[in-house]
Amino acid sequence: MGVVVLISSFLLRLFRLLLNAIDPYLSRINIHLVAKPPSSVEELLATIRAESGSLPSLAQNPQWRERLQLSLDSIRTADDLTPFGRWILYKTLLVQIDSLQCFETIAQKFPEVVIAPHPDRNNRPIFIFGLYRTGTTLLHRLLSLYPNVFYISTSQAVFGGASLSDVKQSSSLEDLRRKIKIASRRYSFTFDVFVRAIVSFPYSVHPVDIDGPEECVGVLNRYLFYETMPITRGHDLVNVASECEELSDQAYRLYKRDLHVMQSIANSRPQSHFVLKAPHHTPFADVILRHFPNACFVRMNRNPAEVVASFSSLLRLHNGAFCRIDASKLGRSVQTMICSMTKELVRQTPRMPECTIDVRFEDFSRDPVAVCRKIAVRAGMEHTEATEEKLTASLIEDKAKRVRAGTHVYTLEEFGLDAEEIRRDCKEYCEMFSV
């Protein structure tokens, strides 16, 4: 199987190179190697309705349609996207809408899956958010090792690649689980091929694992479409939270429903704690508390100048397969985004719930187990000696993988940025969180 994956990923990489080289010339004579995204939401939704026979209920929300139109416009007109990048982003958009329909159909066909588990127990969800590149990924992976925890994996977010027809044709919940298990084998192979062919950055930058704990980005993005461009992921997060209040509220209501759907499909015995991670949650704290009133927030904080440098480097590595990178433009976009997020963290601090834990990147790097222990106590999770041994073993394994992958080296100067300027723009945040 490994040889097949390597050959397939090589062919995909070759296709990417050929498409990027040839498509611009063929387009001049109106020949397109891959289908171009439609110009309007109406055209896109008409196509989806014709193929699937239905549309997600969110299609009735004008703000969702507006966000979808922005995504289409970004994919169609961005001059820094390569032809291959344009194709991948459009296909991703279609998968997200298909996933919306899958979740909705499952909830309607099998209503028992959306019932909140353990109504008589704490069932406290833990939301890990804050700035990018602050240790949220490692913390998420460590907290997922606690017993009775449910986390989202890449595979769970799309039911292992099961299609809407799989859902519609399922005669029972067990039949659906069987179809998802079959689809997962195919999806795992496809995922491995794409990771090897496209996502070429090393483990030291960001671990990639189809079944391990992953961000909620894929789930959240299908409601809000804020990840419309790979070059400045989430650059308009704060604007979405403030300008699309009705959509944000509906998004987190559906998100809560879909968490229970994923949990019910994945497990016969529901866990009592959700552990959810995404920097994209940062400006939505008020909405999260509306739908998860007993949530525990873990906010990860770090020197914003270091965050900008690290995140710019990650995006340059990741998006090189999709875009023509202008390092200076990328750095400025990331600086604007991070400064906007720091201002939001400062603004929302007075309204944080009692169970809010602020963690500095330096403290977490120095003693990750102590930070996990503190969070577990505050969130009502049992921290045992056995759990501590698991955490320690996982940290040793993670360190070994990072050593083998190599050191992630980056500087602000590569992106034409100045550390003092960034810290001045984020002065309130630096002072409030002592970073």
b/e sequence 338-357, b meaning 16+ C-beta within 10 Å: bbbbbbbbbebbeeeeebbb
E strand or H helix at 299, and its extent? Answer: strand 296-301
Residue 320 has pLDDT above 60, yes or no: yes
CA 267 to CA 361: how far, in whole Å?
33
**What domains appear along the chain, each with residue ranges and CATH number?**
2-433 (3.40.50.300)
Residue range 120-178, pLDDT digits in tens: 345 689 999 999 999 999 999 999 999 888 899 888 888 888 899 999 999 998 999 99
Residue range 371-380, pLDDT digits in tens: 999 999 999 8
Residue 230 has pLDDT above 60, yes or no: no
Task: Kindly state the average pLDDT of the residues 228-240.
Answer: 60
Q: What is the DSSP string of 175-229?
A: HHHHHHHHHHHHHHHHHHHHHHHT----TTT----SSSB--SHHHHHHHH-----
140/217: higher pLDDT: 140
**Weakest-pLDDT range from 58-72, 187-201, 280-294:** 187-201
Residue 292 region by backbone torsions, left for phi larger than 0, else alpha for psi between -120 and 50, else beta:
beta
Pull the structure tokens for residue 410: 């980056």
E strand or H helix at 276, and its extent? Answer: strand 273-277
Pull the structure tokens for residue 223: 């409601």
Residue 89 has pLDDT above 80, yes or no: yes
Task: Kindly state the average pLDDT of the residues 42-71.
Answer: 93
According to the model, what pLDDT value does residue 120 have? 37
According to the model, what pLDDT value does residue 40 have? 95
CA 411 to CA 419: how far, in whole Å?
10
According to the model, what pLDDT value does residue 192 have? 82
Task: Kindly state the average pLDDT of the residues 218-226.
Answer: 86
Decide if 52 contacts 46 (C-beta within 8 A).
no
Task: Kindly state the average pLDDT of the residues 31-60.
Answer: 89
Residue 321 has pLDDT above 80, yes or no: no
Residue 234 has pLDDT above 70, yes or no: no
pLDDT band at 29 (very low <50, low <70, confident <90, very high): confident
Average pLDDT value for the chain: 87
Residue 51 has pLDDT above 80, yes or no: yes
